[in-house]
Structure 1
Amino acid sequence: MQHKDRVLSAKEQRAVFKRLLAYTKPHIKTMTFAFVLLILATGADIVGPILVKIFIDDYLTPRVFEFRALVILATTYIVLHLSAVILNYVQLFTFQKVALKIIQQMRIDVFSKVQKLGLSFFDRTPAGGLVSRITNDSESIKELYVTVLATFVQNFIFLIGIFVAMFYLNAQLAFFCLFLLPILFLLMQMYRKFSSRFYADMSEKLSHLNAKLNESIQGMSIIQLFRQERRMRKEFKDINDQHQKAWMKSMKLDGLLLRPAVDFVSILALILILSFFGITSLNSPIEIGVLYAFVNYLDRFFEPVNQMMMRLSLFQQAIVSAGRVFKLLDHDELAPTQVGDHSAKVTKGEIEFKNVTFSYDGKTDVLKNISFKVNEGETLALVGHTGSGKSSIINILMRFYEVKEGEILIDGQPLQSFSEAELRNRLGLVLQDPFMYTGDIKSNIRLYHEHITDEHVEEAAKFVHAHSFIENLPNGYDTEVAERGSTLSSGQRQLLSFARTMAIQPKILILDEATASVDTETEEAIQIALEKMRKGRTTIAIAHRLSTIKDADHIIVLHQGEIVEQGNHEELLKQSGLYHKMYLLQQGVEKEVGIS
């Protein structure tokens, strides 16, 4: 599901820019130092044409060549030029160093925020779009700090210095030149108004590209299996064409309102200056040095204006990208957190649901008035057809989502009174499709818990009968795991997930179709391991194969989010209800394929 980003208003863009500037506060001392260097460098650069003017009017025109004075003048000019070069290098390096630190912090802020968001947010947001915000958008913001702001500040101070020098040379002409500023300001405002629309469209299309690319890579096996390459190429091409069209619109705007428009204004300004000196020369002599200095300053005036206009496109891209990033940072759909100061502890592992109703979207209830209790050390099995609400019970017990109505208790304490760390350390979850990280086997079992030693890792692997296959790998526990564990079989990944869970020694064990991806031979070994794992632990198991939960203390049968039957295996068979039908159906299938 793609979300279309709204074009920011002028007021919102100003707010975004102020927020970007707020990131500079921790670096205010360093930036003040860079500003001082910038002012000194600008002053040294501005004085150059005045020295040339003095040489022309005081020495060259009257043909007065005093060696000592000319040496001092030439030396001063060279020293000022070299000083300007050195100071500009240091201040630019300082500005960019600060800029990189700022963008580094911003990326950490965005990534940290993503880690805190609730699963409901990820249910509706494409992964590729999030990647685009963390990478592409932050890269655009980096250009703002590294290139745009430094250029704008440097050139703004330079323009002020040029006008000061112009007023020093000829106040009347400098005053006329001030009328150029409203024209340039109008050009900038027109550019910002139209470009904001184009860059918002470009950023959105880039997010769609990343989302489609991520989807294609993740589902490559399905794409190739069902020969969907042509369709995916067409969909990718369509989005890519839309992105290219958005770029073309921005390029046309850049070609019209950036350098060509500024060059036209600069020609008008040159005509103004030459006309002024031409008319003045009819009544009184003019100083050639002053004419040279004005023309030189005019050329220097429009060069920074051109630089700022050319970087205005980067500025607008950064504002649009920052708006998208801040929208993510301000998103309030956080993962559920502990309520109250009292942090409850899981001691026995008793679980109780009291009239729990839950909805993912706030409209359609997927669980309706669910109530049950699991005593310490007991095993509860959840069965039902696809979509009956089995996994939803697990999701809200793990507190991935908040319940709509009702209450969940662990050891008599409300679920929200437990800290996230307590729940994650005391509740062990094994999913049907376990996720493997890049790294070695050892790190995938330990998951970087410092208190879990190599000995504990090996003990956990032996406990779930994973040690034998790990030992047969090329480097044993140090064998590198490919992305998502693609080089391992589904059964091997499942065994590793069991070992990962047992390594933390949970008090409550939650199994979500834990044996669905395991072959019959491996399942037998896992059933033995599960029997050991369940001892002394409260267990909730979602089971597709009813034969695996015959010995459960209690079985709940769900249908369309409601409990329709409950009891142990024998009791449910005697009821001749939904469980009985499911059991007979599976028994028939197993006999048909020769499974005993």
Structure 2
Amino acid sequence: MKKGNRSKSKQEERTHSDKELFKTLWNYIIPFKRLFRTLVFLMLLNVVFGITAPLLFKWAMGLINESSSTELKLILPPLLGYFLILIIQWFSRVLHRFYSYKFSTRITNNIRNHVFGEVLGNKLDFFHNTESGLLTSTITNDIQELSDTGDRFVYVTTNLIRLFVILGILFYFSRWLTFSALIFMPFLFIIILLMRNYTRRVSSKWRKNWANVNQNINESMRSIQICKAFNRESENIKKMKDLNEETYRSSVRRGFAIFIVGPVSDLLRHILTIVILLVGTLEYNHLASFTVSVFYLFIFLLDYYYYPVLALARNINSFQSAFAILDRIIKVTEKPQIKEVDSGRIHQERFKGELEFEKVNFSYIPETPIIKNISFHVNPAQRVALVGHTGSGKTTIASLLLRFYDIDSGSIKIDGNNIQSYLLDDLRTR
């Protein structure tokens, strides 16, 4: 029984697959394809020049190794080339930082505007059935945390390209050393896959706890007079402490899930370095074509190979956190059963004022009626007062007249036409 409840809880936390969430993210990126291409170009520029630098060092060491002379002019060309590359890389990184910030801010604003518009487009039922803390947290904190996701997506894309280019260069100089460098990758990705579901689960839990904290703050501020009138300050403080403690625990678990890949990868990296040194020494002793400069190139490129792999590993878990946010955004924005749909076709410049309720029934909660079989007629210019105790349905009748809610049965007519036939803008502003 407990197992079934746990499975149900997981399903409620994440209702969309990674593929669906990635598609959602891409739809938010599409309007800024030009900025996206600029970022990709700048990062590819860094990749090209980053790989060129160790090749220049290999060239310099080859010149020194092949010549008995130690004159500076031998290594001056590769050193000047390396200096020029550093200058170009510096400018490209500055530009990348600028466009990265611009790109992430554009995406964040686009998502926030979309979510805010979708939320306002819902019927009042949505706001009755959705916690205000969830809405506030989603539109503010959650979306702000997505600000780096677009840049992270570009970063992952370019690192994949960098990884394949480096592997191609390494394979060209030594197949055995390249195979040795690939040994640790299966172990790393096994760890990533094992941590993936855990990261997804704890990230969703952390988001939910933050929403509860925001909800508690909003409710406490709105009902501060009632709180003080009934001396409930201590109860509210205790509730806030409990919520903060739960948020702290989920935050620690989330941090562990995201950052555990780093230490494990560092350990694998040190093991990989030892393997490369052992295999490289064997090749140097048995193969004449394997020179000191080639050996140096492998050691130099080890970091260039390792960090793209580490970046991919870390960002896979980071994407799980971003996907948890996107999942909540979809839950908030895609609820077709409560979207306010304008089914009206009649454009009315001015109403005469004839109003008729005919056998109207309505309930906020199914099978719990608020208005039962009510009928009345009001002539144009006639004044009618609705009198009743609190909760008798006076405000509800006014809300039904403006179609804030749709009735369960019966009909409401203005000037002889059902109110559902009028355009909502005309019905609410005339």
> Which TM-score applies when normalising by structure 1?
0.67
Q: Matched residues in 2 for 1:64 and 1:164: separation?
A: 33
Query: 1:343-382, aligned counterparts within 5 Å?
Result: 343-382=347-386
AA aligned to 2:19 is R
Q: Which moved more, 1:194-203 or 1:314-323?
A: 314-323
Q: Is the 8 A contact 2:64 2:74 kept in 1?
A: no
Is the alpha carbon distance of 1:63 and 1:18 closer, same or farther for their aligned partners in structure 2, counting shifts above 3 Å?
farther
AA aligned to 2:421 is S
**Is residue 105 of structure 2 the alignment partner of residue 100 of structure 1?**
yes
Counterpart position of 1:455: none
**Is residue 47 of structure 2 the alignment partner of residue 42 of structure 1?**
yes
Unaligned runs of at least 5 residues, structure 1:
427-596
Counterpart position of 2:275: 272
Counterpart position of 1:134: 139
Which of 78, 84, 90 aligns to 2:83? It is: 78
Which of 416, 422, 429 aligns to 1:425? It is: 429
Q: Matched residues in 2 for 1:71 and 1:281: separation?
A: 27
Query: 1:503-522, aligned counterparts within 5 Å?
Result: none
Q: Matched residues in 2 for 1:413 and 1:149: separation?
A: 54
What secondary structure, in the 3-state scheme, does the structure 2 residue paired with 1:84 have? Answer: helix
Q: Matched residues in 1 for 2:196 and 2:239: separation?
A: 32
AA aligned to 1:274 is L
Q: Matched residues in 1 for 2:360 and 2:350: separation?
A: 21
Which of 279, 284, 288 aligns to 1:281? It is: 284
AA aligned to 1:174 is T
Which of 150, 161, 164 aligns to 2:165? It is: 161
Counterpart position of 2:4: none
Q: CA deviation at 1:30?
A: 2.9
Q: Is the 8 A contact 2:60 2:74 kept in 1?
A: no
Counterpart position of 1:485: none
Q: Deviations over 1:142-196 (max 9, x none)?
A: 12124x2243234323222321221232233213323433333222222222110
Counterpart position of 2:227: 223
Q: Is the 8 A contact 2:133 2:214 kept in 1?
A: yes
What secondary structure, in the 3-state scheme, does the structure 2 residue paired with 1:384 have? Answer: coil
Is the alpha carbon distance of 1:63 and 1:153 closer, same or farther for their aligned partners in structure 2, counting shifts above 3 Å?
farther
Is the alpha carbon distance of 1:251 and 1:71 closer, same or farther for their aligned partners in structure 2, counting shifts above 3 Å?
same
Which of 87, 90, 94 aligns to 2:92? It is: 87
Q: Deviations over 1:319-351 (max 9, x none)?
A: 101110112121224454432433234421111
Q: Which moved more, 1:408-417 or 1:275-284?
A: 275-284
**Is residue 406 of structure 2 the alignment partner of residue 394 of structure 1?**
no
Q: CA deviation at 1:25?
A: 1.5
Counterpart position of 1:29: 34
What secondary structure, in the 3-state scheme, does the structure 2 residue paired with 1:140 have? Answer: helix
Q: Is the 8 A contact 1:336 1:399 kept in 2?
A: no
Q: CA deviation at 1:396?
A: 0.6
Q: Deviations over 1:2-41 (max 9, x none)?
A: xx782327x7122101210122222223322332232222
**Is residue 217 of structure 2 the alignment partner of residue 213 of structure 1?**
yes
Q: Is the 8 A contact 1:143 1:314 kept in 2?
A: no
**Is residue 296 of structure 2 the alignment partner of residue 292 of structure 1?**
yes
Counterpart position of 2:5: none
Query: 1:487-566, aligned counterparts within 5 Å?
Result: none
More strand by share: 1
Identity %: 28
Q: Is the 8 A contact 2:43 2:155 kept in 1?
A: no
Is the alpha carbon distance of 1:336 and 1:325 closer, same or farther for their aligned partners in structure 2, counting shifts above 3 Å?
closer
**Is residue 244 of structure 2 the alignment partner of residue 240 of structure 1?**
yes
Larger Rg: 1 or 2?
Answer: 1
AA aligned to 1:199 is S
Q: Deviations over 1:360-387 (max 9, x none)?
A: 1232111111111000111112222333
Q: Is the 8 A contact 1:352 1:374 kept in 2?
A: yes
AA aligned to 2:296 is Y
Q: Which has the higher contact order (CA 8 A, sep 6+)?
A: 2
Q: Is the 8 A contact 1:351 1:374 kept in 2?
A: yes
AA aligned to 2:279 is F
Q: Is the 8 A contact 1:49 1:293 kept in 2?
A: yes
Q: Deviations over 1:92-144 (max 9, x none)?
A: 43233222111111100011111111111111222122100101110122121
Q: Matched residues in 1 for 2:325 and 2:34: separation?
A: 27
AA aligned to 2:12 is R
**Is residue 123 of structure 2 the alignment partner of residue 111 of structure 1?**
no
Counterpart position of 2:191: 187
Q: Is the 8 A contact 1:118 1:335 kept in 2?
A: yes
What secondary structure, in the 3-state scheme, does the structure 1 residue paired with 2:13 have? Answer: coil
Q: Which moved more, 1:267-276 or 1:199-208?
A: 267-276
Q: Matched residues in 1 for 2:131 and 2:170: separation?
A: 56
What secondary structure, in the 3-state scheme, does the structure 2 residue paired with 1:382 have? Answer: coil
Q: Deviations over 1:228-287 (max 9, x none)?
A: 1100001111111111111122233345x3111101211221122111122223434542
Q: Is the 8 A contact 2:361 2:371 kept in 1?
A: yes
What secondary structure, in the 3-state scheme, does the structure 1 residue paired with 2:119 have? Answer: helix
Q: Is the 8 A contact 1:343 1:417 kept in 2?
A: no
Q: Matched residues in 2 for 1:421 and 1:284: separation?
A: 83
Q: Matched residues in 2 for 1:189 and 1:43: separation?
A: 30
Aligned-residue CA RMSD in angstroms? 2.2
AA aligned to 2:14 is L
**Is residue 156 of structure 2 the alignment partner of residue 152 of structure 1?**
yes
Q: Which moved more, 1:39-48 or 1:174-183?
A: 174-183
Counterpart position of 2:14: 8
Q: CA deviation at 1:68?
A: 4.7
> Which TM-score applies when normalising by structure 2?
0.91
Counterpart position of 1:404: 408
Counterpart position of 2:23: 18
Counterpart position of 1:429: none
Q: Which moved more, 1:215-224 or 1:362-371?
A: 362-371
Q: How many residues align?
A: 420
What secondary structure, in the 3-state scheme, does the structure 2 residue paired with 1:23 have? Answer: helix
Which of 100, 122, 127 aligns to 1:122? It is: 127
